[in-house]
Amino acid sequence: MLTDRYELTMYSSFVEDGSVDDHSVFEAFARRLPPGRRYGLLAGLGRLIPLIADFGFDEDEIGYLLQVGAITPKAADRLADFRFSGDLTAYPEGEIYVPGSPVLTAEGPLGECLLLETLVLSVLNHDTAVASAAARMVTAAGDRPIIEMGSRRTHEMSAIAATRAAYLAGFGSTSNLAGGHLYDIPTVGTVAHAFILSHESERAAFASQVAALGVGTTLLVDTYDIEQGIRTAVEVAGSGLGAIRIDSGDLDIESRRARALLDELGATGTRIVVTSDLDEYVITALGAAPIDGFGVGTRVVTGSGHPTAGMVYKLVAVADRPGADAPLRPVAKKASGKGSAGGRKTAYRRGDGSEGFTLDGTVPPDARPLQVPVIRGGEIVHNPALDEIRGYARAVVEALPASARDVADGTPFTTATEED
């Protein structure tokens, strides 16, 4: 039921006119990147694959669809046994994509592939938006770790998906316990300002936290006065204090003052973590500041201003009869601003980062193919672990041309184009 009504009305029409089993090819792609972005990072495939494998309708759901007139009785009979039986190929999760990249291809019976549209786009658009923003933040941070802490800025289930997407893009940990538990992602967290304010003094709050969590904890020092907070923190925890967190003020200035004061007090190993409305641009501006880690919330879980990747899912080829051997005819939308390229595409990337595709299934000898089999005959054949995806994403981003990794606004470093 994670689909739009018009998917079912179309499906019913296909059942009635007899074309529901005709062979077809659908592709997911982005016509353009969000303004200023030079590349996108694909995420969500690991969540999408099991959802597609389990996609179906139970008796109550079919009854509801009949009641509201979304399907015909003949379509209801077919949906009772619905399971996706086709093939899915896709860019590996963590792969770079650019405008026109066919990041996912569904091939099989027309009605089956059609019904996947909303599910495919809802997962890929959300997770890819988060991962694409997160990857830029990771680049900006360099070797300094970033905590994902945006759960309170999005829907509770979106928060879990965002945790996964940010981690595969290179974030080091999350504050979200559900995401950490489900995906085995490191979780972190200490206290909020409410904890400090609930005690009769800042000293009492720090003493309580250290007694419970040890001197390796992170003390929040900006509730009242940052300088005094640091002095009190070191007095309570000693020079072995793990870290301080600053959540307000000019983070460049305050982190420099904090570093100088910590060193003066002998807490030379105490780390400085900053939070407060960070994004890739702020992190870049803090590049020279003595900051050891960042916590990012709102901007990462909302795609840093672009909460959707803008992907679409389009029919690109269809046959006039069932069967994988049926001759396909390319189809494409031609409307101004929303055009697409027809035909089943085989995507590749050359060593210089340029991306292209062919329509005859070949790949140039100086290029590598980009899609991998994901589902074959309805069965999952690709299911890498999250840490494997994370490592792949890191390698792919690092292999980009330096100009493509630039966090400053620019144009896409390349576009997927058809081989001449």
Query: Quick one: pLDDT at residue 228?
Result: 98
- Domains 5-129+306-418 and 142-301 in one fold: no
CA–CA separation, 225 and 409 (whole Å): 36
The correct CATH number of 5-129+306-418 out of 3.40.50.10300, 3.20.140.10, 3.40.50.300, 3.40.640.10 is 3.20.140.10
- Angle, CA 393 vertex, CA 304 and CA 98 arms, to 5°: 65
Query: Quick one: pLDDT at residue 343?
Result: 95
310: left (phi over 0), alpha (psi -120 to 50) or beta: left
Query: Using CB atoms within 10 A of its CB, is residue 278 exposed (0-12), middle (13-18) or buried (19+)?
Result: buried
Residues with Cβ within 8 Å of 289's Cβ and at least 6 positions away in sequence, in order, are: 251, 252, 255, 256
What does DSSP say about strands 293-296 and 271-274: parallel, antiparallel, or unpaired? parallel
Contact 389, 93 (CB under 8 A): yes
Query: Quick one: pLDDT at residue 420?
Result: 55
CA–CA separation, 111 and 259 (whole Å): 62
Question: What is the CATH code of the structural domain delimited by 142-301?
Answer: 3.20.20.70
- Angle, CA 399 vertex, CA 394 and CA 402 arms, to 5°: 110
Q: What is the dihedral of CA 336, 341, 343, 347, to 10 degrees?
A: -160
396 C-beta neighbours (distance < 10 Å), count: 19
CA–CA separation, 56 and 49 (whole Å): 14
- The two three-digit tokens of residue 202, written as one number: 């800042």
Phi, psi at 15, each rounded to 5°:
-60, -45
108: left (phi over 0), alpha (psi -120 to 50) or beta: left
Please state, in angstroms and as integers, the Cα–Cα distance from residue 248 to each residue in 103, 220, 274, following that order: 40, 11, 8
Query: Quick one: pLDDT at residue 333?
Result: 80
- The two three-digit tokens of residue 401, written as one number: 């041309």
Q: What is the pLDDT along the chain (420 residues), one digit of tens a residue?
A: 999 999 999 999 999 999 999 999 999 999 999 999 999 999 999 999 999 999 999 999 999 999 999 999 999 999 999 999 999 999 999 999 999 999 999 999 999 999 999 999 999 999 999 999 999 999 999 999 999 999 999 999 999 999 999 999 999 999 999 999 999 999 999 999 999 999 999 999 999 999 999 999 999 999 999 999 999 999 999 999 999 999 999 999 999 999 999 999 999 999 999 999 999 999 999 999 999 999 999 999 999 999 999 999 999 999 999 999 999 999 998 877 777 789 999 999 998 889 999 999 999 999 999 999 999 999 999 999 999 999 999 999 999 999 999 999 999 999 999 875
SS3 string, 61-127, reads HHHHHHHCCCCCHHHHHHHCCCCCCCEEEECCCCCEECCCCCCEEEEEEHHHHHCCHHHHHHHHHHH
Residues with Cβ within 8 Å of 80's Cβ and at least 6 positions away in sequence, in order, are: 57, 59, 62
Spans of all domains in the chain: 5-129+306-418, 142-301
Query: Using CB atoms within 10 A of its CB, is residue 415 exposed (0-12), middle (13-18) or buried (19+)?
Result: middle
Of 144, 122, 113, the residue nearest 7 (C-alpha): 113
Query: Quick one: pLDDT at residue 351?
Result: 87
Residues with Cβ within 8 Å of 275's Cβ and at least 6 positions away in sequence, in order, are: 149, 245, 246, 247, 294, 295, 296, 297
Query: Quick one: pLDDT at residue 334?
Result: 81
